Structure 1
Amino acid sequence: MSGDDRLTDDELLALLGEAVADGAAVSERRRTAARAAFTWRSVDAELAELLHDSALDAGAAVRSGGEQPRTLAFGRSGITLEVEIDGDALLGQVIGTGEAAAAPEPATVRLERPDAEAQVVEADAAGFFRLSGVATGTVRLVVEQAGWSLTTPWVAL
């Protein structure tokens, strides 16, 4: 298509709505796939940026038996998530400015794994939280509070 023939988002949604309204049978499997694809439209804007990883510091290429805790920091839109992994404990703090700092309720922090049940904890009034029994492997953290959220990229612990 040339640039002039492209549909706007509203026009495309209207055409899709007409197709569905015409009684075209859409399987639940396709609906689920479509919803999943739609959620990825803004993934880059939603993911937090890795600001610091002590495992990447100079001299940390060869780990020294895990004696030093690993620290990570993520940030997005005035919200910073700082975590320290020490053995099987993950300690962290959610630091927010603006709307995130003024939220009346504490943040909820969820540690997700691709192959296991999520661990959920509530941060205290200062944004501190602790998760125990954190095994090594691929994880991401999702922080939610008063209408905003921060999702980290997947990292290997």
Structure 2
Amino acid sequence: MNDEELLDELRAAAAQADPVPDLVLRQARAALATRDLDAELADLAFDSALAAAGAVRAEGDDVRLLSFESPRVSVELQVEYADGRVVLRGLVTGATGNAVIEVAGERHTRPIDDDGWFTAAGLPRGTTRVRVTAADGTTVTTGWAGL
């Protein structure tokens, strides 16, 4: 048995004894498939989950607010949790067209209305980001956030 055959047998044994969870594989594929090296990153400016870490939250308070900012675009997100799914409402300043929500290996495209709003309901929970196109044509992507 040569080294390559031994490695193949070890890989098969490891895959059978302790397989990589499906969610991990989907998110890894999504991260690689959706990378855009030319996109401008909108940094996280505010996360109500972090701001409220030391505060007492009301019972049943299932709303989270996130703000992302770049030199060209700002994206405000309101996240609501219901029945294990996510409703995402966004307000975009400095961009038009569509918002592309990437979560758990899926892409959901929603139009940005004339007032800058978009809504996506029934999204799975998971690491999420939003991609928009600025008025000058630059692609702007929020950082990944666990929702």
Which category describes the TM-score, using the shorter chain as reference length? 0.5 to 0.7
Choose which of 67, 76, 83 in structure 1 pairs with 2:70: 76
Which of the two has greater strand per residue? 2
SS of the aligned residue for 1:47 comes to strand
Q: 1:143 to 1:137 in 2, by over 3 A?
A: same
In the alignment, what sits opposite 1:127?
Answer: 116
The one-letter code matched in structure 2 to 1:144 is T
Q: After the TM superposition, which residues 76-155 of structure 1 pair with which residues of structure 2 at under 5 Å, given as runs?
A: 76-87=70-81, 88-96=86-94, 100=95, 106-113=96-103, 115-146=104-135, 147-155=137-145
Pairs aligned (count): 108
The one-letter code matched in structure 1 to 2:93 is I
In the alignment, what sits opposite 2:15?
Answer: none
Q: 1:149 to 1:61 in 2, by over 3 A?
A: farther
Q: Deviation of residue 63 (structure 1)? A: 6.5
Structure 1, unmatched stretches of 5+, are 1-35, 101-105
In the alignment, what sits opposite 1:103?
Answer: none
Q: Deviation of residue 89 (structure 1)? A: 0.8
The one-letter code matched in structure 1 to 2:144 is W
| Distance in 1 (alpha carbons) for counterparts of 2:56 and 2:126 | 18
Which has the larger Rg? Answer: 1
| Distance in 2 (alpha carbons) for counterparts of 1:85 and 1:60 | 20
Aligned residues of 1:54 and 1:60 also touching (Cα < 8 A) = no
Deviation per CA, 1:111-152, whole angstroms, max 9, x where unpaired?
113x42200101101110100112211111111245122101
Greater RCO, 1 or 2 (C-alpha within 8 Å, sep 6+): 2
The one-letter code matched in structure 2 to 1:71 is L
Q: TM-score, normalised by structure 1?
A: 0.59
The two structures, once aligned, show a CA RMSD in angstroms of 2.5
Q: TM-score, normalised by structure 2?
A: 0.63
Aligned residues of 2:43 and 2:70 also touching (Cα < 8 A) = yes
Residue 48 (structure 1) aligned with residue 48 (structure 2)? no
